[in-house]
Amino acid sequence: MVSSIRLAALLLLFGMASAAADDLGQPADLYTTRVIVTGADTRSRPDGFRMCLEDVLAKASGDMKLPDDPRVRKLGEKAGDLIDAYSYYDRMTGRPIHDEQGTRDRPYYLTCAFNAAKVDAALAALGRKPWPGDRTPLTMVLAVQGLGHNDMLSSDGDFDPDMRAALMNTAMRYGLTVTLPSLNALAENAVTVESAAKSPAARLTALAERSGGALPLVGSLDWSDADHGWIAHWMLDDGRKRHAWGVKGVSYDEAFRSAVRGAALILSGNGEPEAGL
C-alpha cells in the first residue's frame, strides 16, 4: 500500500501544472526529489536522473558525502532503472517565448519518484542503510550581518522572505525539518544578533522547543567583500557533543546547504561535516 506521504509526493509530481513555478518546494517524500535541467527532452535527462539519484541517496541515508563517492557516479549511469515516475514542469510557464532558444532550452523542474526498495538496495550495496523518517526537527537560530542587514532570521519578520524560502527548500531537499523562531519567541528569550552565539544552551533549547524544533542549529552569516560572499558559522549540540563547522565566500543558498547537510551527517551518525573555514 502506498503511504500517505508517498501518495502526497506523487500527487505533487503529477499536479505541478496547476501551481506557480516560484511556489514549488522540494517534495517532502524521502524517495522523491527535484532538480533544474535545460529542456525536457533526452539531451539533459541522463544528467537530470543522475543528479536526482545523488540527492535521493543522500536524503534517504543522511550521508551527505555519498554524492562524492565514485561508485555513486557509476550508479548514476543507470539511475533511470531506479525511477518509478518522473515529470517536467516549465519554470517559465506563463512567460512569453521570445526566440528559438526559448522554445528548446527553457529551464525545467525535473521531479523523480524513485522506487524505495531499489534505493534501499543501492544503499546496502554502498555499505549504507536508510535513515528512519522520524528525524529530529531543528530550529535555526541565525544572526545575519552585512549588505545592510543586522537581523535575526525569523518565521514572521519582514527580513528576509527569500532567505526563509531558500532555507525551507534546502531542508526538504535533504529530508530534514528546520523551523525558524518567531519575533516574539526571540524577544522573550532575549536572543539577538549580538547575543545569539553566546546564549546559554538551555535558553536556545527552550527557544527551539517553542518553535517546533527539538534542537537549536545556531548560526551566523556575515558578508565579506574580501571573500566575495557570506561567511557562515554553524553549531549543533546533539546532547553528546558540540559540533561546529562553516563555509566562506558563498551565497546564502550554499550556506544553508552547508548547514543542513552538516546537521544531517551528524544526526544520522554518518560522520562530521568538514570545518570549511
Instruction: Write out the chain's pLDDT in tens, 277 residues.
Output: 445 445 444 444 444 433 443 455 788 899 999 999 999 988 999 999 999 999 999 999 999 999 999 999 999 999 999 999 999 998 777 666 555 545 567 899 999 999 999 999 999 999 999 998 889 999 999 999 999 899 999 999 998 999 999 999 999 999 999 999 999 999 999 999 999 999 999 999 999 999 999 999 999 999 999 999 999 999 999 989 999 999 999 999 999 999 999 999 999 999 999 887 7
CA distance 171 to 263: 10
Question: Which residue, 93, 125, 157, sits at the end of a domain?
Answer: 125
Identify whether 132 is part of a domain.
no
Identify whether 82 is part of a domain.
yes
The overall longest dimension of the chain from CA atoms, in Å, is 59
Residues 150 and 259 in one domain: yes
Q: Which residues pair with 144 in a beta bridge?
A: 151, 221
Which residues have CB under 8 Å from 274's CB, separation 6+?
Answer: 245
Range of the domain at 51: 4-125
Residue with cell 551528524: 266
Backbone φ, ψ for residue 120 (5° rounding): -60, -40
CATH number of the domain bearing residue 216: 3.40.50
Torsion angle defined by CA atoms of residues 174, 176, 180 and 186, in that order, rounded to the nearest 10 degrees? -130
Residues 121 and 142 in one domain: no
- Per-residue model confidence (pLDDT) at position 5: 47
- Per-residue model confidence (pLDDT) at position 186: 97
Identify whether 275 is part of a domain.
no
CA distance 190 to 232: 22
- Per-residue model confidence (pLDDT) at position 277: 72
- Per-residue model confidence (pLDDT) at position 104: 60
- Per-residue model confidence (pLDDT) at position 105: 75
